[in-house]
Structure 1
Amino acid sequence: MRRISPNSKLVVALPDQEACIQKFLTQSGTFRHGDLLVNRDGLRIVSQNEEGKVIKMNIQETVCEQIAQELKINLSSLNSYIVVCYQSFYDNGAISIVLEYMDGGSLADFLKKTGTIPEPYLAAICRQVLEGLMFLHHEKHIIHRDLKPSNILINHRGEVKISDFGVSAILASSSGQRDTFTGTYNYMSPERISENRYSYVSDIWSLGLVILECATGRFPYPPFESFFELLDAVVENPAPSAPPDQFSEDFCSFVSACLEKQPKERQPARLLLQHPFLRKYDGSDIDLASYFVSTASPLATFNEQT
């Protein structure tokens, strides 16, 4: 049998979004038609107009229903600011997800190369994230619950998209509140920690921390010996703020609006899209595509070998 090296290029076809992916697999599990690039970081499916990445996750039987619900949400969340889930399927106790391929990686990856991001580009990034959150909150009734730099993806076209809903769920309540305590601790809002209850604006708190981290190049809270100390600081201490001697008044105001400790006073995505920090760049020629490409080369490279 001919062996395939980790960077070999095969010929497969990207399955139609509505088709069952098993129809494109042979009995041995290989693809039938089109372009498939095998890489140690995953599988990249390529067609003329669409790109995807197959991510395989081993899951326990007890969480199958939760993952299935997440897939259902992703598959129905078609929006320009949300990473597309093309298809998903189970195989021998594992679930594979075909996701849109974002060749710039995540904001976390980008920050490792750039250190910080200037305000004009942050405004352009933030606008796209807020558009994605507004779609999730008001169209799909979903709280992301795990918004952080590694879950905001970018590509060479200057697109910024929200990914990895983790444990996000469709909310049955019209108030949009959930009682579960899940997600990444670092970016949790005070009400999630102290009351174990939160709403859509909990994602706005997370966004505020993300934007401030992108601006300063460091996580807004100082390092603590334990995550319990961090959680206590989030609840008991004043919210982080942007240094006024380093950033514009509009940027400082935007961060403060996101990091309002009282959730009832925290502005939703719809209002934040009208904030002066974003409005002042309306009509400006902010080329995120050139910035992403020139500042950091594509993070996921696939060498073609025959």
Structure 2
Amino acid sequence: QVLEGLLYLHHERHVIHRDIKPSNLLVNHKGEVKITDFGVSAVLASSIGQRDTFVGTYNYMAPERISGSSYDYKSDVWSLGLVILECAIGRFPYTPPEGEGWLSFYELLEAIVDQPPPSAPADQFSPEFCSFISSCIQKDPAERMSASELLNHAFIKKFEDKDLDLRILVESLEQPMNVPE
């Protein structure tokens, strides 16, 4: 659903969201995922337009945005890749060595720009999922897939015919818990 939302933003509205992060992806009571908070989004004049301003939540910024280069719609794909990976592994993908707390602002920006991108552990996830994440978080935006390309990725196609209903999950979360006294 998020990829379809990005496809709509990018191709129909010519908008870069510029702040895709977990708190800006919401699930309503019907199980529909919604992209929210368009406070720093930008309109491009065309589908090949680019921007060069530094706005949004730096944790999820694509390397080209941090380094001050021009960027386009694919910067949203980088952010989405980090969000999905974070959900999968249960922690933010850029973390310091064990037991060292959090990366500082500058350490994080340096890691995003200079270190290899994080990846899904191949021993914990399917090859299709690992490939999907890798396709999202390529350092070079020219090598990064677009939202429309990702909708045709093997990982997405694998679930195309499945009846995945987030509404059921949301309803189960809304049920009061029976906590023993």
Q: 1:256 aligns with which of 134, 143, 149?
A: 134
Asked if structure 2 preserves the Cα contact closer than 8 Å seen for 1:239 and 1:261, the reply is yes
Q: Which residue does 1:284 correspond to in 2?
A: 162
Task: Establish whether residue 156 from structure 1 lines up as the match of residue 29 from structure 2.
Answer: yes
Q: Which residue does 2:124 correspond to in 1?
A: 246
Q: 1:274 aligns with which of 152, 163, 171?
A: 152
Report sequence identity in percent: 65
Q: Deviations over 1:89-135 (max 9, x none)?
A: xxxxxxxxxxxxxxxxxxxxxxxxxxxxxxxxxxxxxxx00000001
Asked if structure 1 preserves the Cα contact closer than 8 Å seen for 2:95 and 2:103, the reply is no
The structure in which a higher percent of residues are strand is: 1
TM-score (norm 2): 0.90
Considering only aligned residues, what root-mean-square deviation do their CA atoms show, in Å?
Answer: 1.3
Asked if structure 1 preserves the Cα contact closer than 8 Å seen for 2:11 and 2:47, the reply is no
Unmatched runs of 5 consecutive residues or more in structure 1: 1-127, 299-306
Asked if structure 2 preserves the Cα contact closer than 8 Å seen for 1:239 and 1:259, the reply is yes
Following superposition, the deviation at residue 291 of structure 1 comes to: 1.4
Q: Deviations over 1:143-174 (max 9, x none)?
A: 00000000001012110011101211221255
Asked if structure 1 preserves the Cα contact closer than 8 Å seen for 2:18 and 2:42, the reply is no
Give the 4+ runs in structure 1 shifted more than 6 A: none
Aligned residues: 170
Asked if structure 2 preserves the Cα contact closer than 8 Å seen for 1:212 and 1:242, the reply is yes
Q: 2:114 aligns with which of 236, 248, 253?
A: 236
Q: Deviations over 1:25-68 (max 9, x none)?
A: xxxxxxxxxxxxxxxxxxxxxxxxxxxxxxxxxxxxxxxxxxxx
Which gives a bigger RCO, structure 1 or 2 (Cα 8 Å, sep 6+)? 2
Asked if structure 2 preserves the Cα contact closer than 8 Å seen for 1:129 and 1:162, the reply is yes
Q: Which residue does 1:138 correspond to in 2?
A: 11
Task: Establish whether residue 200 from structure 1 lines up as the match of residue 77 from structure 2.
Answer: no
Asked if structure 2 preserves the Cα contact closer than 8 Å seen for 1:154 and 1:160, the reply is yes
Supply the distance in 1 between the matched residues of 2:144 and 2:119 (Cα, whole angstroms): 14
Q: Which residue does 2:174 correspond to in 1?
A: 297
Q: Which residue does 2:178 correspond to in 1?
A: none
Unmatched runs of 5 consecutive residues or more in structure 2: 97-101, 176-181
The alignment partner of 1:244 has SS state of: coil
**Which residue identity lines up with residue 134 of structure 2 in the other structure?**
S
